[in-house]
Amino acid sequence: MKLTLRVWRQARGAQQGKLVDYQIDNVSEDMSFLEMLDMLNEQLTIAGEEPVAFDSDCREGICGQCGVVINGTAHGRGNSPVPTTTCQLHMRSFSDGDTITVEPWKADPFPVLKDLMVDRSAFDRIIQAGGFISVNTGSAPDAHSTPAPKLQSDRAFDNATCIGCGACVAACPNASAMLFTGAKITHLANLPQGQPERYLRIKNMVAQHDAEGFGNCTNIGECAAVCPKGIPLESISQLNRDLISSLFRKDGFLG
């Protein structure tokens, strides 16, 4: 395939960025999107130009570090019927002669470091604000020693699959991180181990979410539509319920 790539180039976060067009030929439909970007960078390096900076790690759809906006969709969709990470998007989803626009996550809490790379440490600080859970140290307990109902354990597991890629923020018109925060809240809220600090946790994490500059949720649903791990909107509902309940608890602790 022969493609035209419109790629966001930005030397440093403080500088003005712009879209730059590149022509690339002999792209195999079996390539992943990141392999295609590798091919572009090899072409640029041979020509003596600066290669495009982008994030990636596992390239197996596990870590989410590869996230970019492709043709206006976080991680890109192509012809795929379900959301996927950028590294799992293959070039068979595009056609010969296509023009593909590639941009970084654009949100104030995700400042651009260079080209397609952004700083997602705001997510780390939200998780850190959640603090600890009260468990005894020592040898690992038996798996059946703390029973959890099937429905709750399934919900906890589903929300624990969140990889913190930031697609929800990139897709949301408000740049809200409520789906991410809701997944972290719902994960522990459905497990016995997460109960003692449950309401203090929700207060602190939502406060940090707002302090980072993320917007409010207005239930548009774009976040869930692009989430590569299928985190449902009901996770935000769980967050809202716990936040309201926390307002009636003096210290934020269960009891």
- pLDDT value, residue 14: 77
Mean pLDDT (whole number) for 65-94: 91
Task: Give the pLDDT band of residue 209 (cuts 50, 70, 90).
Answer: very high
Return the pLDDT at 177.
98
- pLDDT, position 248: 86
pLDDT reported for residue 77: 85
Domains and CATH numbers, the chain: 3-103 (3.10.20.30), 120-134+148-246 (1.10.1060.10)
Nearest to 13 by CA among 53, 71, 68: 53
Where is pLDDT greater, at 253 or 105? Answer: 105
pLDDT, mean of residues 9-37: 94
What is the C-alpha radius of gyration for the chain, rounded to an integer number of angstroms?
21
Q: Which tokens hold the place of 34?
A: 């990141």
Q: Does the predicted model carry a pTM greater than 0.75?
A: yes
Provide the β-strand partners of residue 154.
none
pLDDT tier at 252 (50, 70, 90 boundaries)? Answer: low
Residue 194 has pLDDT above 70, yes or no: yes
pLDDT exceeds 60 at position 34: yes
CA nearest to 172, candidates 243, 106, 121, 124: 106
Helix, strand or coil for residue 74? strand
Strand partners, 107: 110
- Burial class for 115, CB neighbours closer than 10 Å (0-12, 13-18, 19+): buried
Percent of the chain with pLDDT over 90: 84
Contact predicate 121/128, CB 8 Å: no
In 79-97, which positions are buried (b, 16+ CB within 10 angstroms) versus exposed (e)?
eeeebbbbbbbbbebbeee
Q: What is the pLDDT of residue 255?
A: 46
Q: How far apart are CA 203 and CA 52, in angstroms?
A: 40
The region of weakest confidence among 12-21, 35-44, 199-208 is 12-21
- pLDDT for residue 228 is more than 90: yes
Q: Of the ranges 103-117, 124-138, 198-212, which one carries the lowest mean pLDDT score?
A: 124-138
**Tens digits of per-residue pLDDT, 134-183?**
777 777 777 677 788 899 999 999 999 999 999 999 999 999 999 999 99
Cβ-based neighbour number of residue 191 at 10 Å: 19
DSSP states along 167-227: HHHHH-TT---HHHHHHHHHHHHTSGGGSTTHHHHHHHHHHHHHHTT-----S--HHHHH-
